[in-house]
Structure 1
Amino acid sequence: MVAEKIDQCLKPHGEEGIETIERMNENHKPISEFAFECVDVGKNDKILDIGCGGGVNIEKFLKLTRNDVDGLDYSDVSISESIKRNQKAIDSNRCRIIQASVDDMPINDNEYDLVTAFETIYFWPEIGETFKEVFRIIKPHGQFLIAQGTDGNHPDDEKWLKTVEGMRVYTPIQLEEYLLNAGFSTVEIFKKENSYILIVIGKK
């Protein structure tokens, strides 16, 4: 049963996948709220949310920019739910929902002002190379925001790492190093007071 729940978090699917996305939307609220406090979003920023899940953050970003806000995920259910939530923006050509893996994105170089990843990099393959792929699609002076519920010191980290094959948890120092090695010029780190919530922003 635990394995099934973990599998749903990795790649939501079927009816249970829809329920999983709804739970994640609720559980990730404090992380998302803090992330939006930390990042500057320009009125004309073009944005991509990687691992867009149910499309909640796409919906939020659409209210902050006049430009396009796209989502990318490799789960059929996540794609479907993101489309459902943001159908009006899709119909008005302000939003695309792309089904692909983060390590091979069908996206042009220097396309986005802001790329975000909420509670998803734990499962990314070859994180150093994947960050280079993210760097590729960001415009000069653009930003890459990573938001997660652990700063590498959460008491539940060890339990999850033992349970989920292939999962990785990164400290702020590790993320800074990976981002700088990928080509980002500066890295900002934010930690929410009295919590383990971590926001890291790499600037190109």
Structure 2
Amino acid sequence: MADEKIDQCMKPHGEEGIETIKNMNENHKHISEFAFSCVEVGKDDNILDIGCGGGANIEKFLGITSGNVDGLDYSEVSVSESVKRNQSAVDSGRCEVIQADVSDMPLEDESYDLVTGFETIYFWPDLGETFKEVSRIIKPDGQFMIAQGTDGTHPDDEKWLATVEGMSVYTAPELEKYLLDAGFRNVDCFKKADDYILVVIAKK
């Protein structure tokens, strides 16, 4: 059962996947709230949320920008739930949610002002190359925001790493190096006071 729960976190699927997404939307609220307080969003920015889960952050961004807010996830269930949650924006053409792998996204170069990843990079393959792929779809002077519940020093990190195959946890300096090596020109890191929540914002 534990392995199944872990698998659901990595790639929600089936009926249990829907419940997992609902739980993640609720459990990640405090991470999302801190991240939104760290990033500046332009009034007409086009935004992509990678690993969009149940679409909660897509919904938030739609209330901030008049631009398009899209989502990408490699879980069919996540895509479906994100579309349901943001159906009116999908119907009006302001939102598209696609099923794809972050390491090879079927998106045009320099499409977005802001790309985000909430609680998702733990499972991204070959982080250096994947960050280059993210950079490719960001406009010049655009931003890439990473938000995660651990800064790499959380007491539970070792337990998760020992349990979840293919999972990695990164510190702020490690992420900064990966991002700069991928071609981003500037990286800012924000740590929530008295917590382990880390937000990293890279400028292209």
TM-score category (smaller protein): over 0.9
Once the two structures are superposed, what CA deviation does each residue of 1:58-79 show, in whole Å capped at 9, x if it has no partner? 0000010001000000101101
Residue 177 (structure 1) shift: 0.1
Structure 2 partner of 1:85: 85
**Structure 2 residue matching 1:19: 3-state secondary structure:** helix
One-letter amino acid of the counterpart of residue 75, structure 2: S
Alignment of 1:180-191 (within 5 A): 180-191=180-191
Instruction: State the identity %.
Output: 74
One-letter amino acid of the counterpart of residue 120, structure 2: T
One-letter amino acid of the counterpart of residue 21, structure 2: I
**Structure 1 residue matching 2:152: 3-state secondary structure:** coil
**Structure 2 residue matching 1:142: 3-state secondary structure:** strand
**Structure 2 residue matching 1:41: 3-state secondary structure:** coil
Whole-Å Cα distance in 2 between the matches of residues 140 and 125 of structure 1?
25
Whole-Å Cα distance in 1 between the matches of residues 18 and 150 of structure 2?
24
Whole-Å Cα distance in 2 between the matches of residues 72 and 166 of structure 1?
20
Residue 172 (structure 1) shift: 0.2
Residue 140 (structure 1) shift: 0.1
**Structure 1 residue matching 2:12: 3-state secondary structure:** coil
Whole-Å Cα distance in 2 between the matches of residues 25 and 8 of structure 1?
14
**Structure 1 residue matching 2:173: 3-state secondary structure:** helix
TM-score, normalised to structure 1, is: 1.00
Whole-Å Cα distance in 1 between the matches of residues 198 and 36 of structure 2?
12
Whole-Å Cα distance in 1 between the matches of residues 82 and 166 of structure 2?
26
Structure 2 partner of 1:65: 65
Once the two structures are superposed, what CA deviation does each residue of 1:49-99 show, in whole Å capped at 9, x if it has no partner? 000000000000001000100000010110110000000000100000011
Structure 1 partner of 2:4: 4
Whole-Å Cα distance in 2 between the matches of residues 143 and 19 of structure 1?
31
**Structure 2 residue matching 1:177: 3-state secondary structure:** helix
Aligned length, in residue pairs: 204
TM-score, normalised to structure 2, is: 1.00
**Structure 1 stretches lacking a partner, 5+ long:** none
Find out whether 1:203 has 2:203 as its counterpart. yes
**Structure 2 residue matching 1:117: 3-state secondary structure:** strand
Say what the alpha-carbon RMSD is for the aligned residues: 0.3
**Structure 2 stretches lacking a partner, 5+ long:** none
Once the two structures are superposed, what CA deviation does each residue of 1:22-75 show, in whole Å capped at 9, x if it has no partner? 110011000000000000000010000000000000000001000100000010
